Amino acid sequence: MSAPKPFYLTTPIYYVNDAPHIGHAYTTLACDVLARFLRLDGYYVKFLTGTDEHGQKVEKSAAAAGEEPRPFVDRVSGNFRELADSMNFSHDDFIRTTEVRHQEAAWALWKELEAKEQIYLGTYSGWYSVRDEAFYAENELVDDKAPTGADVEWVEEPSYFFRLSEWQAPLLEFYETNPNFIAPPSRRNEVISFVKSGLLDLSVSRTSFTWGISVPDHAGHVIYVWLDALTNYLTGIGYPDTKFEEFSTFWPADIHIVGKDILRFHAVYWPAFLMAAGIMPPKRIFAHGWWTNEGQKISKSLGNIIDPLPLIKKYGLDPVRFFLIREVPFGKDGDFSHQAIVHRMNGDLANDFGNLVQRVLSMIHRNCEAAIPEPGKLTEADTAFLANIDAALSEMRSAMMEQAFHKALVILWKRIGEANRYVDAEAPWELKKKDPARMCTVLYVLAEAIRYIAILVQPVMPGSAKKILDQLAAPEDERSFAHLNSEHSLKPGASILKPEGVFPRYEAVD
C-alpha cells in the first residue's frame, strides 16, 4: 500500500485583543471540516491553528485591560483554546506567536531575507491603522480613514523595509502559472489588479513600541506583526529546521483558509516573502466571506458580537456546526439569524435526517428483534438505490477539494431525501404481515444507507454521526471512507441499540 498523501492546512492565527466570536469559530470550523474529511479519506493531515499575540493592537488592549501584555495574552489565548474545545475542533497543533519555537522561526526567516539583501533600513512616514495592523498609502484613505473604516494615525519612525516592489512581476507570473492559487476566482481578480497597480516596498519593523519579536541584531526594532504572524505557518512544521521530516513532508502548505479581509497579506505579502527567502509559496489561499448578524455588520461598537458558546448551549454543537457550513456558500457573505438556524434545525436535521434515522431504527428495533435484519434478495431498484448513495462520496470529494463545503452537504442531503422517499414508497410497516422477508430487505437496505450517510456526515457533525453509528452497532474502527463498501456492510444479526432521537426539533421556550 502506498504511503498516505500528506495535506497541510491552516487557519489564520487569531489576535488575542478580544474575546473569540463567531467569525473566528467560522474560519476554524471550515478547516476542521476539511481536515476531518481528508483524514477519513486516508490523507495524512496536519491541521494548524493558534493565536497572534504581538503588535500594537494587542499591546494597547492589554494596557486598556490594566494588564501586562504577557499575562494578558496568556489569558486571552486560553479563551481561544477553550473555544476550539467547545467547537470540537480537531487541530493537530495550536501555535502561539509568543512561543520560543516561533521566535526562532521568525528570526531565521528575517535573517534569510537579510542575507538575500531583501531588507534595508530607511524611515517610514505614512499612515498606519492599529486595528488593521496595516500601512496605508495616502490615496487609499477614504474620508481620512482606512478603506476598512478603521482609524489611521500618522507614523514617522526608522524602519526596515522589504523590497516588495521587486516582486511585482514574479508575483504576477506566479498567479498566472498557478491559476488555483487564489480562490474564489473573483478574489483572484481583485488581487491581480491590486498587484498590477504597483507595489511599494513594505515597512517590516516598528520602533514606537516594544511588544513583539525583536529584529535580530538591531535593538529598538520589533518585527512587523504581519511578517511575524505569517511565519507561524512555517513554525508549525518545524522551520527553521528545513531538513526536519515534518517540514519536507508538509511544505508547501496545501491551503491557508482565511477571511476576505486578510487576503492581501496572504496572497501578496506572504508569497513575496517566501520567494524572496527562497522558499516555495503555499499551494492555495481560499478567502471566505463575512457574517452579518440579523442583517447588521458585526462590530464591538454595535454590541452585536455573536459568542458561539451560548449558541451551542441553546441549539447544541452539531446543529451550530451544520448551520454555519450549510447556510452560506463558502466564499460568500452570509447572515446569521436565529430564525435561519431554527429553520435548518427543524428542516434539514429533524424532519429530513433525524426522521429517517428514527423511523428506520425504530422499525428495526420493534420488528426485527433489535438486530440488523437479513438482507435476503435485493431487487435491482434496491441495488440502484444503494449505488446512488455510494456515488455521493466522489461527488462530495470534488466539492470539498474546491472548498464548496455547503455543496458537499447538498449532495448528501439529496441522498437523505431519496432515502426518505424510498421508505415512503416501500412502506415497510405494511410489509410486516404481507411480506416479512421483503420488510427485512427494505430495512436492511435502509440501515445500510444510513450507515453510509452517517459516515459521510462525520466531518460536519462528528458527535451526532457517532451516536447514529453507535446505535447501528457499526464497529468503531470501520467508520472511514475506506469502509464505504459492501465488504464492511452491516452484519445481519448484530444487535442495535434502542434508538434515541439525535436531532430534536427546536421548540422556542421563551
Question: Phi/psi of residue 346, each to 5°?
Answer: -80, -30
The site that binds ligand MSP (CB under 6 A) totals a number of residues, namely 19
Show the cell assigned to 17: 485583543
Alpha carbons 296 and 23: distance in angstroms, whole number: 14
Q: Taking CB under 6 A as the rule, does residue 376 contact ligand MSP?
A: no
Query: Which neighbouring-strand residues pair with 371?
Result: 495
Alpha carbons 148 and 392: distance in angstroms, whole number: 41
Is omega for the bond preceding 375 within 30 degrees of 0, making it cis? no
Strand segments, DSSP code E, in 24-152 are 44-52, 93-96, 119-129, 134-136
Q: Which is nearer to ligand MSP, 13 or 171 (CB)?
A: 13
Q: Taking CB under 6 A as the rule, does residue 14 contact ligand MSP?
A: yes
Q: Taking CB under 6 A as the rule, does residue 24 contact ligand MSP?
A: yes
Is the separation of the CB atoms in 415 and 466 below 8 Å?
A: no
Q: Taking CB under 6 A as the rule, does residue 80 contact ligand MSP?
A: no
Q: Taking CB under 6 A as the rule, does residue 259 contact ligand MSP?
A: yes
Rule CB under 6 A: choose which of 7, 8, 9, 27 binds ligand MSP: 27
Binding string, residues 296-325; x marks residues near ligand MSP by CB under 6 A:
--x---------------------------
Amino acid at 471: Q
How many C-beta atoms lie closer than 10 Å to residue 492's C-beta? 15
Q: Taking CB under 6 A as the rule, does residue 239 contact ligand MSP?
A: no
Amino acid at 169: A
Q: Taking CB under 6 A as the rule, does residue 190 contact ligand MSP?
A: no
Alpha carbons 209 and 150: distance in angstroms, whole number: 20
Rule CB under 6 A: choose which of 36, 38, 41, 52 binds ligand MSP: 52
Q: Taking CB under 6 A as the rule, does residue 12 contact ligand MSP?
A: yes
Which residue's CB comes closest to ligand MSP?
259
Strand segments, DSSP code E, in 255-352 are 255-259, 285-288, 291-293, 296-297, 334-336
The piece of 22-30, 69-77, 276-284, 380-388 that touches ligand MSP (CB under 6 A) is 22-30
Rule CB under 6 A: choose which of 94, 194, 247, 290 binds ligand MSP: 290
Q: Taking CB under 6 A as the rule, does residue 413 contact ligand MSP?
A: no
Show the cell assigned to 264: 492581501
Give 99's DSSP letter. Answer: S
Q: Taking CB under 6 A as the rule, does residue 247 contact ligand MSP?
A: no
Q: Taking CB under 6 A as the rule, does residue 229 contact ligand MSP?
A: yes
- The burial class, CB within 10 Å (0-12 / 13-18 / 19+), for 384 is exposed
Distance in Å, CB of 71 to ligand MSP, minimum = 20
Q: Taking CB under 6 A as the rule, does residue 15 contact ligand MSP?
A: yes
Q: Taking CB under 6 A as the rule, does residue 360 contact ligand MSP?
A: no
Rule CB under 6 A: choose which of 13, 320, 364, 454 binds ligand MSP: 13
Q: Taking CB under 6 A as the rule, does residue 258 contact ligand MSP?
A: yes
Alpha carbons 127 and 466: distance in angstroms, whole number: 52
Binding residues for ligand MSP, per CB under 6 A? Answer: 12-15, 23-24, 26-27, 52, 229-230, 232, 258-259, 261-262, 290-291, 298
